[in-house]
């Protein structure tokens, strides 16, 4: 069977920020996708992609359309993470013009003059995973979209989730999506509709009916996803898409839930509630603790970790109590808002997640000294 027939898309997130330092109507896009690892070759020992490798998406032919009639053409991605076990690679799209890990585009006007609304930028392609384990949207189309409006917005919200989150069978399961807005705007949080998630009417079904009785739900205030997994079966994969929305913009994250056998209690992961402020050129460090009441923690990952930061696992794994430290020194190019999801996994596959928000600023441009939320 050809790779295209099996599908290759696992995950996606898109967001943008305003770059008036370049031009009044310039947006800087961050596009992150996960694809099947065995669909590409690379420099790892098994001949497949590893961290730092660059791939060209010749299967989905992913292209970022800016909404003004222009697009990037087929994109290259630099691999920032991968899973041998789950057969995915996670990549950041590269700007075709500069090779950098964000994509710059200057629009002709602050708004779309034809619609008098925001510019609609995003990707649309086909070949979602077509594996038999993928229950609700096997082999379907996928779309990621954000709204670009320069009249009042400094950028879009950011929504971050793991590529795959584990949910025990026959349980009421909850997990947080890391959501924030760079200027602190109030946000709503909801499930994407079928057109938003696929580009076509009827092209996408969120987890739930008609496959199982209970639908996936979201809490707009807490950014929590909750699902009663009754009647699901271990090994199943369910795709979902959620939208974080402000008054003028939106962004989305599209990911997977994997059903696992119910066994034991999940770990607990405690991150800071307040935004962590850091100045360019100043070292940053923060500890995050996790524990498991009846098992051992075997893995920790930081989803959407900034390029300037590093995750340091202080405690040797496996362990019932774990300390990790995120460190780094941001540069001027890193000014902005960074949203990270810390995911902890125990030996039974149970998981917990915590959100970390970091604001990088030039002190001359903010009234807040470092460390103040």
Find the mean pLDDT for residues 122-147.
Answer: 96
Q: Number of C-alpha atoms within 13 angstroms, CB side, residue 157? A: 27
What are the structure tokens assigned to 66, written together? 């800016």
Q: Over the stretch 155-208, which tens digit does the pLDDT of each residue have?
A: 999 999 999 999 999 999 999 999 988 777 789 999 999 999 999 999 999 999
Strands 164-168 and 250-260, how do they pair? parallel
pLDDT of amino acid 370:
36
Q: Over the stretch 33-55, which tens digit does the pLDDT of each residue have?
A: 999 999 999 999 999 999 999 99
User: What is the reported pTM?
Assistant: 0.92
Q: Over the stretch 259-270, which tens digit does the pLDDT of each residue have?
A: 999 999 999 998
Domain extents for the chain?
3-260, 268-365
Cβ(326)–Cβ(309) under 8 Å?
yes
Q: Which long-range contacts link 98-101 to residues 24+ away (Cβ below 8 Å)?
A: 101/307
Q: Number of C-alpha atoms within 13 angstroms, CB side, residue 51? A: 4
pLDDT of amino acid 371:
36
Cα distance between residue 89 and residue 54, in whole Å: 11
Find the mean pLDDT for residues 56-80.
Answer: 96
Fold agreement between 3-260 and 268-365: yes
Provide the pLDDT confidence category of residue 5 given band limits of 50, 70 and 90.
very low
Q: What are the residues whose beta carbons fall under 8 Å from the beta carbon of 316, sequence distance 6 or more?
A: none
Work out the number of other CB atoms within 10 angstroms of the CB of residue 215. 13
DSSP 3-state of 371:
coil
pLDDT of amino acid 6:
56
Cα distance between residue 181 and residue 333, in whole Å: 19
3-260 CATH choice from 2.60.40.10, 3.30.450.20, 2.60.120.560, 3.90.105.10: 2.60.40.10
DSSP 3-state of 257:
strand
Find the mean pLDDT for residues 86-98.
Answer: 96
Residue 225's nearest CA partner among 246, 180, 256, 193 is: 256
Find the mean pLDDT for residues 21-42.
Answer: 96
Q: How far apart are the first and last CA of the chain?
A: 53
pLDDT of amino acid 121:
98
Find the mean pLDDT for residues 65-72.
Answer: 98
Cβ(81)–Cβ(90) under 8 Å?
yes
Q: 268-365: what CATH class?
A: mainly beta
Cβ(150)–Cβ(107) under 8 Å?
yes
Cα distance between residue 99 and residue 182, in whole Å: 25
**Whether residue 210 has a cis bond before it, omega within 30° of 0:** yes
Q: Is the pLDDT of residue 366 over 60?
A: no
On average, the pLDDT of the chain sits at 92
pLDDT of amino acid 369:
37
Q: Over the stretch 268-288, which tens digit does the pLDDT of each residue have?
A: 998 888 899 999 999 999 999
């Amino acid at each position: 069977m050809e790779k295209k027939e099996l599908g290759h898309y696992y995950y996606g997130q898109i967001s943008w920020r305003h770059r008036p330092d370049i031009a009044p109507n310039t947006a800087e896009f961050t596009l992150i996708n996960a694809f099947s690892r065995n669909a590409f070759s690379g420099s790892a020992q098994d001949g497949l992609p590893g961290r730092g490798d660059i791939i060209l998406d010749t299967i989905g032919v992913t292209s970022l359309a800016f909404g003004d009639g222009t697009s990037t053409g087929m994109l290259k991605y630099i691999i920032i993470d991968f899973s041998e076990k789950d057969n995915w690679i996670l990549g950041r799209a590269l700007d075709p013009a500069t090779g950098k890990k964000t994509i710059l585009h200057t629009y002709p006007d602050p708004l779309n003059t034809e619609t008098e609304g925001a510019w609609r930028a995003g990707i649309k392609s086909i070949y979602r995973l077509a594996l038999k384990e993928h229950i609700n949207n096997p082999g379907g189309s996928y779309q990621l979209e954000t709204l670009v409006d320069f009249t009042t917005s400094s950028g879009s919200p950011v929504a971050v989730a793991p590529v795959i989150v584990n949910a025990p069978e026959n349980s009421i399961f909850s997990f947080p999506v890391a959501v924030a807005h760079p200027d602190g705007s109030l946000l709503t949080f909801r499930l994407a509709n079928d057109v938003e998630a696929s580009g076509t009417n009827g092209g996408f079904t969120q987890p739930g009916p008609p496959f199982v009785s209970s639908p996936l739900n979201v809490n707009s205030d807490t950014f929590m996803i909750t699902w009663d997994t009754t009647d699901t079966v271990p090994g199943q994969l369910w795709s979902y898409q959620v939208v974080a929305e402000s008054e003028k913009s939106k962004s989305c994250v599209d990911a997977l839930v994997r059903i696992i056998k119910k066994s034991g209690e999940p770990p607990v992961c405690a991150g800071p509630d307040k935004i962590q402020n850091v100045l360019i050129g100043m070292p940053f460090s923060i500890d995050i603790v996790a524990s498991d009441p009846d098992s051992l923690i075997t893995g920790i990952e930081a989803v959407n970790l900034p390029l300037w930061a590093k995750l340091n696992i202080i405690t040797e794994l496996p362990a019932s109590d774990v300390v990790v430290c995120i460190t780094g020194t941001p540069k001027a190019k890193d000014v902005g808002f960074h949203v990270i999801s810390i995911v902890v996994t125990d030996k039974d596959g149970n998981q917990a997640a915590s959100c970390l928000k970091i604001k990088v600023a030039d002190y001359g441009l903010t009234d807040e000294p470092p460390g103040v939320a």
